[in-house]
A and B are shown apart, each in its own frame.
Chain A
Amino acid sequence: MPFKAGNISPDNQERINKILEVIIAYAGLDFTKKTEVKGSDDDVLDAIGAGVNMLGEELQTSTISLKEKEHLLKEIHHRVKNNLQIVSSLLNLQSESIKDPALLNLVTASRNRIHSIALVHEMLYASVDLTNIEMGDYIKKLSNNIRNSLSIPGSDVQFEFEINPCFLDIDRMVPVGLILNEIITNSFKYAFPNGKGIISIGIHSLHGRYILLIKDNGVGVPAGFELEKNSNLGLQLIKILTEQINGELNINFENGFSYSITFN
């Protein structure tokens, strides 16, 4: 026989409301509330209340366990970031005693690559869900760091950003961060001999895929330039990392350099 609303006495309606309040509190992860259980025979509301109380106890344990795991994950990101920063700082110290410009370039490039990964962990550590990073924020921080690292006195390289809000997880963020680092670094090193220029960075999503566009308005390449024959480590890295995220890479060097990377 159905339990019809018309059959409910005012007292029982009050008890049902209280049980509902407790359920709503549990839904908000507040486990301090309990329903009152009288322990009387054949009282269905007593039984429902007891069931809700026990459910709350079980959920509370699971929630605490989940919070402990989140805390642990946060701690791991924090430590990874700190350790990578130590390595980066060591390379920085080392670079102060290097006189050979070629060797100095290599050390600086390595330091920036490490920083691009450390930044992922730093931002994951500070993120709400410890899983995804807002791309725009990351791109701006990374770009500024590269400029601080590679700018020469008197230079004026500006960034233009056109970024749609999007989030990436760590599996894609690390390769994408390294790709950005290589491309921006290449522009700083080769595109602006007079120290002045603009690097445009955009990211958009289309039909479930992301399109990352990086372009500089620099000098481009000399006539007869062949990309395959002049491929440096940076470009090789860009290709490998694009494959890692199952992306497609297109490079155009007609007016400055522009890169387009499409990935899921």
Chain B
Amino acid sequence: MNTLIPPANALNLTSFKTWMGDDGICRTVTKELAEINLEQAMENSVAVSSLYKDRKFPLLIDARNIKYMSKEARKFFSTNGRDIKITCFGIMVKSPLSRVIGNFFMGLNKPEIPARLFDSEADALQWLKQYR
């Protein structure tokens, strides 16, 4: 399945590749059939935060290749009660599996910051830009 293409300087994590785009929007893409547990969620959060310079930024999560996300990871990604460097996040889903995981995450964990599911990269970027 087509996903965002990470640049060469992207941070290569256990289950994600993460980088800052020239447009000031951070991207993180799950690897093929990624099974995300709490440890990998925290690793990604640290990587995203490391891209912070002087102002918070939006985050685009490409979850089109995801296979599983644990309950602990879902709770962690909700950002609730954490010091985070992002202003909002959009999650890209496509397959029925990624849709179910995305909807389950959004429905049950209610993130404290603006968050939405998207079908297309263009729509996601359009929405994220307002939170730069």
A residues touching B (Cβ–Cβ < 8 Å)?
37, 39, 41-44, 46-48, 50-51, 53-55, 57-58, 61
Contact = CB atoms under 8 A, between A and B. Distances in A.
A38 to B, nearest CB: 8
A15 to B, nearest CB: 14
Interface string B91-117: 000011101110010001000000000
A50 B33 CA distance: 13
Contacts of B99: 47
Given A43-B96, A47-B96, A47-B97, A37 B71 contact: no
B100 A47 contact: yes
A48 B1 CA distance: 20
B70 A39 contact: no
Contacts of A37: 67-68, 97
Prevailing SS type, chain A contact patch: helix
14 contacts: A37-B97, A39-B33, A41-B95, A42-B95, A43-B97, A47-B96, A47-B97, A47-B100, A50-B101, A51-B100, A53-B68, A54-B100, A58-B108, A61-B71
B97 A58 contact: no
Given A39-B33, A41-B1, A58-B108, A50 B97 contact: yes
Contact of A46 (B70, B97, B104): B97
Contacts of A54: 71, 74, 100-101, 104
B86 to A, nearest CB: 24
Contact of A57 (B71, B95, B100): B71
Contacts of A48: 100
Contacts of B104: 51, 54-55
Interface of B: 1, 33, 67-68, 70-71, 74, 95-97, 99-101, 104, 108
A39 B97 contact: yes
A61 B108 CA distance: 13
A264 B22 CA distance: 72
Contacts of B71: 54, 57-58, 61
A46 B96 contact: yes
Contacts of A43: 95-97
Contacts of B101: 50, 54
B16 to A, nearest CB: 16
Nearest to B98: A47
Given A39-B33, A57-B70, A61-B71, A44 B96 contact: yes
A19 to B, nearest CB: 13
Nearest to A55: B104
Nearest to B67: A39
Nearest to A46: B97
Contacts of A61: 71
A121 B92 CA distance: 55
Nearest to B94: A41
A177 B44 CA distance: 61
A55 B101 CA distance: 11
Contacts of A42: 95-96
Contacts of A57: 70-71
A52 to B, nearest CB: 10
A53 B33 CA distance: 16
A54 to B, nearest CB: 5
A51 B100 CA distance: 6
B32 to A, nearest CB: 9
A55 B1 CA distance: 26
A1 B67 CA distance: 27
A41 B100 CA distance: 13
